[in-house]
Amino acid sequence: MNSRIILLVTGLLLSSIFLTVGTVSAEPSRYLQVESITMTLEGPDATFNIEFELDIIAQMYVLFLGTGSIKSAIYDIFDDFDNVEVLSVRKDGAVVKVRNVSYHDPEQGGNMFFHDSHNLGTIVDTFKLVFPSGVERIFYDVSTTPNTFFEA
């Protein structure tokens, strides 16, 4: 009898967590707060290192189902990009590779690449742009990647 009560209470608790997080998952900004993104340009490709904080319900969700359960929220951030691959997800961050996000104009000569701005699916507190030369530019409270050109 005692084990049935424990099982029932555990089931109700888990159900309420999963139902609550399920309704929240349509809008990642409610449970996933992006603190910073570092975009490292690599010719036509870019690697994004994302640091985020999860609310308590999402932390419980990750505890029971693993970090793969928030992968869709990471993809939502990069909805405006093509060729997106989530390389790894941790409980407080992720690494994303985007291919062909910048383009090369042969008429310009040299190894100049151009990156057109893309919308991010959230507002980012700190956005760091790292050029192939190692030069960094920092932006605050952004919702798009900056238009830029660079030599690779």
What percent of the chain shows pLDDT beyond 90? 52
What integer is the mean pLDDT of 139-150? 93
Over residues 72-84, the pLDDT tens digits come to 889 999 999 999 9
79 to 3, 102, 106, 118, 119: CA distances (angstroms): 46, 16, 28, 9, 8
pTM: 0.77
Over residues 40-50, the pLDDT tens digits come to 999 899 999 99
Question: Where is pLDDT greater, at 39 or 27?
Answer: 39
Q: Tell me the residue type at 24.
A: V
Q: Tell me the residue type at 63.
A: L
Strands 119-130 and 32-42, sheet pairing: parallel
SS3 99: coil
Distance of CA 111 to the CA centre of its chain: 29
CB 146 within 8 A of CB 36: no
